[in-house]
Amino acid sequence: MNINNDIRKLVNDTPFVDTHTHLWEESTRLAALEERRGSGIPASDIGMLFSHYTDSDLIVSGMPEADLKRVFGYDLEPKDKWALIAPYYERVRLTGYGRHVRASVRMLYGEEDIHAGNVEAISEKLRAAVKPGYYRSILRDVANVEYAHVNSLQTPVFMETDMPDLLMQDLSTVALGSGLDLTAVRNATGKDADTLKEWHGVIDWCFKTYGPRAIATKNQSAYTRGLDYAPVSAAEAAPIFARYRKKPGSVSPAELKALQDHLAHYCIHKATEYRLPVKLHLGYFAGHGGMPLHRVRHNAGDMCLLAQEHRDARFDIFHINYPYQDEVIALAKHYPNTWVDMCWAWIINPEASVRFLKEFLMAAPANKVLCFGADVLPVELVPGHAAVARKGIAQAITELMEEKWISMDEAETLIQRLMRGNALELFDHDGKIAAWGGERAAS
Ligand SMILES: [Zn+2]
């Protein structure tokens, strides 16, 4: 199948709004060059490119974990790291993960593939690029990304970013409710509570303090529990909270679930009050060796109760709920308050993502899908992920045209909508940038 040239050009020229990444702050990457192993950041060399997602494919293909650890460390030369990776690279280079690494290497360092003869040169270029301003140039100039939404993993609630006009920040609600973690919230905010009522006050404080600048709320509790958030009243949850506060071990698993359920609903109500879309992880698990598909397959069904209970919320369902993507097409088609986000999906399974996008567009309103989120920690992987996504979008649109479902005129409008327009409608980028400005002026 040849991708239509006009479509390819339109897709390449149109900027993405990247609705989900985990990018470290640029200052963290700069500091890691000096602090080295104390930073917790992989070394800025060839290992960086394999440190997120492709590491899982390498392990699953047979690479020993101990070797992989050395690939991210600061002790080996790039050529010695490559000697560890090479036997497994051939096994993973055709997956979506492998492809986004290769595409990034091509776009950033001008090499078609990675091999023993160029790992030193790639590493040198990667390291030399780590300078003030390099995030902006990789995201805007190379990846053609207009804004990147960041769910920072460097802090449990909200990242006070240095670049609020480029790296829009999510407010994470995991530790506040569905994955309640009093210590993490206390360490991050200085706030504590003895009673449920006081904890509601802590959540209120987080929304009042961060909500005006946050682009959305984000929650990935589906990694540790189901999304079956039962309606639990404050009167039922209060005595459980009081006991949990004194002695977490005194609360049974069922009681802890009830408390989390109550707080999860509370956080969704707050997000609705602050007009923040509610981003939720559904579907496939990052990492390897631990995904409970029996539970994951209930994610889409559980969403129905949330969508019905919170009519005024706007839910952004992540990762197309892979491998249960058909079910979320049904959700986005049926529920006015539910969107589907293709973040991460293009590299989990590029071919399934092409099929998904075509089927989505034939079934659900075109404004209900968000088409790109790189979902990575290293900024160096965003260009390659964007390239895989652009190829997939161009392929899906070309196929729909060849099959005579859509015309060229319709395709032009659609591409704008899919790559940026839907995100600009759902999220208030301008308002958030203004709020950061106001905040800074006031301080
Ligand atoms: Zn993510």
* Domain of 51, in residue numbers: 45-129
Distance 199 CA to ligand 1 centre (A): 27
- Domain limit, last residue, from 129, 151, 175: 129
Distance 242 CA to ligand 1 centre (A): 32
Decide if 14 is inside a domain.
no
Distance 22 CA to ligand 1 centre (A): 6
Decide if 18 is inside a domain.
no
Distance 54 CA to ligand 1 centre (A): 14
Distance CA 440, CA 63 (A): 48
CA-to-CA separations, 367 to 15, 138, 144, 328, in angstroms, rounded: 17, 28, 21, 14
Burial class for 332, CB neighbours closer than 10 Å (0-12, 13-18, 19+): buried
- Can you read off the two tokens belonging to residue 22? 């985990």
Q: Are residues 118 and 146 in the same domain?
A: no
Distance 84 CA to ligand 1 centre (A): 27
Distance 40 CA to ligand 1 centre (A): 18
Decide if 296 is inside a domain.
yes
Q: Are residues 397 and 422 in the same domain?
A: yes
Q: DSSP string covering 106-148, please?
A: HHHH--SS--TTTHHHHHHHHHHH-STTHHHIIIIIIS-EEEE
Q: Give strand pairing partners of 168.
A: 149
Distance 430 CA to ligand 1 centre (A): 23
Distance 170 CA to ligand 1 centre (A): 11
Decide if 37 is inside a domain.
no
Distance 322 CA to ligand 1 centre (A): 13
Distance 344 CA to ligand 1 centre (A): 7
Q: Are residues 270 and 124 in the same domain?
A: no
Identify which of 62, 47, 167, 60 has the alpha carbon closest to the alpha carbon of residue 101. 47
- Can you read off the two tokens belonging to residue 167? 């790296």
Distance CA 329, CA 57 (A): 28
- Cβ-Cβ contacts under 8 Å for 443 (sequence gap 6 or more): none
Would you write out the chain's pLDDT as a tens digit for each of its 443 residues? 788 899 999 999 999 999 999 999 999 999 998 776 667 899 999 999 999 999 999 999 999 999 999 999 999 999 999 999 999 999 999 999 999 999 999 999 999 999 999 999 999 999 999 999 999 999 999 999 999 999 999 999 999 999 999 999 999 999 999 999 999 999 999 999 999 999 999 999 999 999 999 999 999 999 999 999 999 999 999 999 999 999 999 999 999 999 999 999 999 999 999 999 999 999 999 999 999 999 999 999 999 999 999 999 999 999 999 999 999 999 999 999 999 999 999 999 999 999 999 999 999 999 999 999 999 999 999 999 999 999 999 999 999 999 999 999 999 999 999 999 999 999 999 999 999 996 554 43
Q: DSSP string covering 202-262, please?
A: HHHHHHHHHTTT-SEEEE-GGGTS-S------HHHHHHHHHHHHH-GGGS-HHHHHHHHHH
Q: Give strand pairing partners of 148.
A: 18, 167
Q: Are residues 173 and 123 in the same domain?
A: no
Q: Are residues 77 and 177 in the same domain?
A: no
Q: How does strand 16-21 pair with strand 369-370?
A: unpaired
Q: Where are the beta strands (DSSP E) in 322-432?
A: 338-341, 369-370
Structural domains in the chain (count): 2
Q: Are residues 74 and 141 in the same domain?
A: no
Q: Give strand pairing partners of 242.
A: none
Distance 152 CA to ligand 1 centre (A): 9
Distance 392 CA to ligand 1 centre (A): 20
Q: Are residues 138 and 118 in the same domain?
A: no
Decide if 30 is inside a domain.
no
Q: Give strand pairing partners of 340.
A: 317, 369
Q: Kindly calculate the radius of gyration of the chain based on its CA atoms and give it in whole angstroms.
A: 22
Burial class for 133, CB neighbours closer than 10 Å (0-12, 13-18, 19+): exposed
Taking the CA of residue 234 as centre, how many other CA atoms within 13 Å lie in the half-sphere pointing to its CB? 7
Distance 153 CA to ligand 1 centre (A): 9
Q: Are residues 49 and 197 in the same domain?
A: no
Q: How does strand 278-280 pair with strand 315-317?
A: parallel
Which residues are in the CB-under-5-Å shell of ion ligand 1?
375
Q: Are residues 290 and 376 in the same domain?
A: yes
Q: Give strand pairing partners of 368.
A: none
Mapping DSSP to helix (H, G, I), strand (E, B) and coil, where does residue 17 land? strand
What pLDDT, in 10s, does the model give residues 75-100? Answer: 999 999 999 999 999 999 999 999 99
Distance 20 CA to ligand 1 centre (A): 6
Distance 70 CA to ligand 1 centre (A): 24
Q: Are residues 257 and 138 in the same domain?
A: yes
Q: Which residue has the tokens 């000096």?
A: 34
Distance 68 CA to ligand 1 centre (A): 21
- Rounded-to-10 torsion of CA 292, 297, 301, 305: 10
Look at residue 172 in the predicted model and tell me its pLDDT. 98
Q: Are residues 409 and 271 in the same domain?
A: yes
Decide if 24 is inside a domain.
no
- Domain limit, last residue, from 129, 145, 176: 129
Q: Residue 318's domain is classified under what CATH number? A: 3.20.20.140
- Domain limit, last residue, from 104, 129, 154: 129
Burial class for 390, CB neighbours closer than 10 Å (0-12, 13-18, 19+): buried
Decide if 38 is inside a domain.
no
Q: Are residues 226 and 375 in the same domain?
A: yes
Distance 376 CA to ligand 1 centre (A): 7
Distance 21 CA to ligand 1 centre (A): 6
Distance 263 CA to ligand 1 centre (A): 22
Decide if 323 is inside a domain.
yes
Distance 375 CA to ligand 1 centre (A): 5
